[in-house]
């Protein structure tokens, strides 16, 4: 009954490869996010989708391409992996409500990507 799940949990790959990380939420939320946590634990948002539409796109290299096939899924595909892509990637979801209420973001367990 995991709320936000990510696969795989660990991903070790060579430079130049292409890889994908999958995220699924069963909370019925309409908004999903990808965050990157670097080796110093700094967390930064990368993308956000609301109802399958891209609404936040930070200054992320275009080697990173998010894809949202439906509201419950937000996958992250990374082309031509580089050493600097090594990090923990977190998926999150929330329900955007009308008015000024900010709903809680629920985070997945993270995917630790190591690029060799």
Partner 1 sequence: AQSVTQLDSQVPVFEEAPVELRCNYSSSVSVYLFWYVQYPNQGLQLLLKYLSGSTLVKGINGFEAEFNKSQTSFHLRKPSVHISDTAEYFCAVSRNTGFQKLVFGTGTRLLVSP
Give the residues lining the site for partner 1 (CB under 8 A): 4, 31, 40-45, 48, 50, 55-56, 90, 92, 94, 96, 100-110
Q: Is 43 helix (H, G, I), strand (E, B) or coil?
A: strand
Residue 29 tokens, joined: 């939320």
CB of 80 to partner 1, least distance (A): 27
* DSSP3 helix / strand / coil % (the chain, rounded to 5): 5, 55, 45
Closest to partner 1 by CB, 6 vs 75, is: 6
CB of 15 to partner 1, least distance (A): 25
C-beta of residue 12 within 8 angstroms of C-beta of residue 106: no
CB of 114 to partner 1, least distance (A): 14
Closest to partner 1 by CB, 14 vs 104, is: 104
């Amino acid at each position: 009954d995991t709320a936000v799940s990510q696969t795989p949990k660990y991903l070790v790959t060579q430079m130049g490869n292409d890889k994908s990380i999958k995220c699924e939420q069963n909370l019925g939320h309409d908004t999903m996010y990808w965050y990157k946590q670097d080796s110093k634990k700094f967390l930064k948002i990368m993308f956000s989708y609301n109802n399958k539409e891209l609404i936040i796109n930070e200054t992320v290299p275009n080697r990173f391409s998010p894809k949202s096939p439906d509201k419950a899924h937000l996958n992250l595909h990374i082309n031509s992996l580089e050493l600097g892509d090594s990090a923990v990637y977190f998926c999150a979801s929330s329900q955007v409500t009308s008015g000024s209420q900010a709903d809680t973001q629920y985070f997945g367990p993270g995917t630790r990507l190591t690029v060799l």
